[in-house]
Amino acid sequence: MRRNNERTFLGFTVTGLILLMGVLLMWNWNPKTSASAPASAAGSGGNRAPGQQGWRLLDPIRYENLTIFPVVASQDADTSDFSTLDDALASGEAVVTEQGNYMRRTRDGGTESPAYSGAQVNQLVLVNRGKKPLILLAGEVISGGKQDRIIGKDRIVPVGAPPLPLDVFCVEHGCWTDGSAKFAGAKMMAHPSVREKAAVDQDQGQVWAAVRGDAAMSSNLEVSHGASAGTTTAGGNRTGVAGRAAPAPVISPGSTATIIASIAPTESYKQIYQMSRVGGSVEAFAEQVQRRFDHATSSLKGERVVGVVVAFGGEVAWSDAFASSQLFEIYWPKLLRSYVVEALTRTASQENASLEDARDFLRPATGHYREETEPGVYSWRESTEGKSAQIELEALAPKPLTLHGLKVLRAQ
């Protein structure tokens, strides 16, 4: 009897150990529950770009203190069923106004005001009159109304939706003027320091602080790397005393507020791009990066660029990726210029981020998770871990598709 009990106990023990080993193996194999994926998996399907099963990172493209790592994929999703904000505003398929300014037509041909009225700093009204769902990305700049605003959060506006109270952030501190009743797409994206505060912190005070550059306020505007002598050519490039090319102009940290306020009392964010001393620097810098980008991606065969990972100096700090190369190409011009503005506000550095750094950056955040969903339209997901924040926008119709994803290394 005792021997039978011992055999039974031994059998249960062995069975239990086998089951435990199986559970542990499954835990390590499952990418959704694994605490971290090996960096070598990045670029070979270990981490997933939005909407893609297989992708890889190209070698870094460097200019001054900005490094771009293109994200390429062998599969390209069809995103033609969606419209972007700039295109919809330009065509009239979308209308954005101050609250109280939108008049809705009634069935008898008359008009009526919506239930809400009166302009609000952090809320506008958006109407999608087009035939496609409308994609909005946090940080997109829209101009008009009583002051310029930036979109507060990634989201999708469905076709035929009622007038939408749209959450926005102001980038013109202290300005409230009688401008145009309607807004237009500025074809600009707020630079990452500002965009982060809208997309992640969702706090108006922090957006203003980021525009002012409170982390390192400068009392005067500097548009050079340092005290090296030189002149500026018509193309915006600096040359040294002996005629050698000098580093591209840099906006000293914190001087964005000076730039914004230096021309007009409206303190428009657009002044960063339009002021001659700075706008030329942004365009010259962007042209240099674009030339290198085109060269690095021109020989791709069977792959398309769907996103980028961005580093400033030796710090990988940002990524934007899309479900399709079509969407990437639409957003890329204003994304590139936003990265350039950020690079120009950062201190020059001799350090450069490596391909391995970029792969490590793209490891999924596995900390605090939250999700917001509009049934049948979209799902917004955020994961934060330490200083990293990761956001994904998934369309739920006509089929589930992750349209956009971003990851940011937060400044604070």
pLDDT by residue (tens digit) across 136-194?
A: 999 999 988 778 889 999 999 999 999 999 999 987 655 555 555 678 888 899 999 98
* CA geometry: angle 194, 197, 203, nearest 5 deg: 125
Question: Around Cβ 411, how many Cβ atoms within 10 Å?
Answer: 12
Question: Around Cβ 313, how many Cβ atoms within 10 Å?
Answer: 19
On whether residue 29 sits in a domain, the answer given is: no
State pTM to two decimals: 0.74
**Average pLDDT, integer, range 19-30:** 39
Helix 276-297 to helix 325-345 angle, to the nearest 10 degrees? Answer: 130
The dihedral formed by the CA atoms of 276, 194, 338 and 129, expressed in degrees to the nearest 10:
-100
Number of domains in the chain: 1
Question: Around Cβ 297, how many Cβ atoms within 10 Å?
Answer: 15
Confidence of residue 214 (pLDDT cuts 50, 70, 90): low
d(CA 216, CA 230): 26
d(CA 154, CA 308): 18
**Long-range residue pairs from 377-386, CB within 8 A, at least 24 positions apart, any chain:** 377/133, 377/156, 377/158, 378/155, 378/156, 380/153, 380/154, 380/155, 382/200, 384/200
On whether residue 399 sits in a domain, the answer given is: yes
Question: Around Cβ 255, how many Cβ atoms within 10 Å?
Answer: 25
Which DSSP symbol is given to 197? I
* Model confidence at 399: pLDDT above 70: yes
On whether residue 37 sits in a domain, the answer given is: no
d(CA 360, CA 307): 16
Alpha helices in 213-319 (DSSP H): 256-261, 271-274, 276-297
Rg (CA), the chain: 25
d(CA 154, CA 135): 8
Its sign, for the CA torsion 56, 282, 289, 311, is negative
Average pLDDT score, the chain: 75
d(CA 287, CA 308): 17
Print the domain residue range for 52: 46-104+112-409
Length in residues, the chain: 412
Largest distance between two CA atoms of the chain? 100
* Model confidence at 314: pLDDT above 90: yes
Question: Around Cβ 77, how many Cβ atoms within 10 Å?
Answer: 20
Q: What is the pLDDT of residue 179?
A: 58
On whether residue 224 sits in a domain, the answer given is: yes
Paired tokens of 92: 């009239």
On whether residue 289 sits in a domain, the answer given is: yes
* Model confidence at 55: pLDDT above 50: yes
Which residue has 């450069």 as its token pair? 352
* Model confidence at 25: pLDDT above 90: no
On whether residue 358 sits in a domain, the answer given is: yes
d(CA 80, CA 86): 15
Residue, of 331 and 146, whose pLDDT is higher: 331
Which residue has 């490596």 as its token pair? 354
Among 3-17, 104-118, 189-203, which range has the highest average pLDDT? 189-203
Element housing 8 (H / E): helix 2-29
| Number of alpha helices (DSSP H) and beta strands (DSSP E) in the chain | 9, 22
On whether residue 348 sits in a domain, the answer given is: yes
Cα 283 to chain center, whole Å?
A: 20
Residue, of 145 and 359, whose pLDDT is higher: 359
Q: What is the pLDDT of residue 186?
A: 83
